[in-house]
Structure 1
Amino acid sequence: MAVGLTLAVVTAMFLGRAWNACDVGVNNAANSGFLLWMFIPGLWSVLLLAWVAVGALLGDRPRLHAGALVVTLIGLVWCVISIFWEGATPACPSGVPPWWPNFLPAPGF
């Protein structure tokens, strides 16, 4: 439960920072309101359901269970970032914020 909430908050902070760097949205207050009141609870619910589903499918195999949870949760977070990253590309010249590391592929690409 705490893992899902932590991932949801980190993802919202990451998206907020990317949107801020690329001037996406109405203003920071509107973006943060969406991220705080709609995005975090929605993503937390999805991550919690994925956690329960993987746990129910794999049962009592701790190593396989842990590995599958990590891959599933990171995959879901990457997909969500890719969906909401789309708005950040037009305002930034290279399609990514200036602080994004060059060796990592940008979400959605």
Structure 2
Amino acid sequence: MAFAAKGSKGESFLAVVVGGGTAFGLIVLTSRAWKACHVDASGSVPNGVALLFMGLPLALIVNLVLFNIVFRYAGKAFLFSLVAAALAIAIADLALFSWQGTPAGSPGTCPGNIPPWWPKSIPT
């Protein structure tokens, strides 16, 4: 029994819930990292506004497109497709955080703009 058939409204709902939730989580994580390291990543625009109008749409688009592609082509099993899509989004969000969450070009108080609470076992 399929909980969300491929190409259905259920798949679209899952894409928005999983992709939107993780995009919001990525923006919160980036904001906390910038605050911990006193990073002024956007120059004259406050960091919160930059994340809201530039970071959130980028993360949302990446997560929604990636979820739809992986979920649709991962296989016929619902749970396997869902786990594969969530794993792909987690890897993509880690890459986005490494790219914009720890901006090496912006001066900050932390070495490499990596916050002290970030686990050493997870590369950035």
Bin the TM-score by the shorter chain: 0.7 to 0.9
The residue matched to 1:24 in structure 2 has which SS?
coil
Instruction: Give 1 or 2 for the bigger CA radius of gyration.
Output: 2
Tell me by how many angstroms 1:17 deviates: 0.8
Runs of 4 or more, structure 1, over 4 Å off, are none
Unaligned runs of 5+ in 2: 1-15
Q: TM-score, normalised by structure 2?
A: 0.71
Contact 1:4-1:44 at 8 Å conserved across structures: yes
Q: d(CA) in 1 for partners of 2:19 and 2:48?
A: 19
**Alpha-carbon distance in structure 2 between the residues aligned to 1:40 and 1:86:** 16
Matched, 1:39 2:55: yes
1:99 and 2:117 correspond: yes
Return the offset for 1:30. 1.1
- Pairwise CA RMSD of aligned residues? 2.3
Find the aligned partners of 2:93 and 2:112 in 1 and give their Cα distance. 23
- Distance of 2:86 and 2:75 partners within structure 1: 15
Q: Which has the higher helix share?
A: 1
| Structure 1 portions without partners, runs of 5+ | none
- Normalised to the residue count of structure 1, the TM-score between the two structures is 0.80
- The share of aligned pairs that are identical, in percent, is 27
Between 1:39-48 and 1:18-27, the stretch displaced more is 18-27
Give the counterpart letter for 1:74 in structure 2: A
Paired residues, what number?
Answer: 105
The offset of 1:67, in angstroms, is 2.3
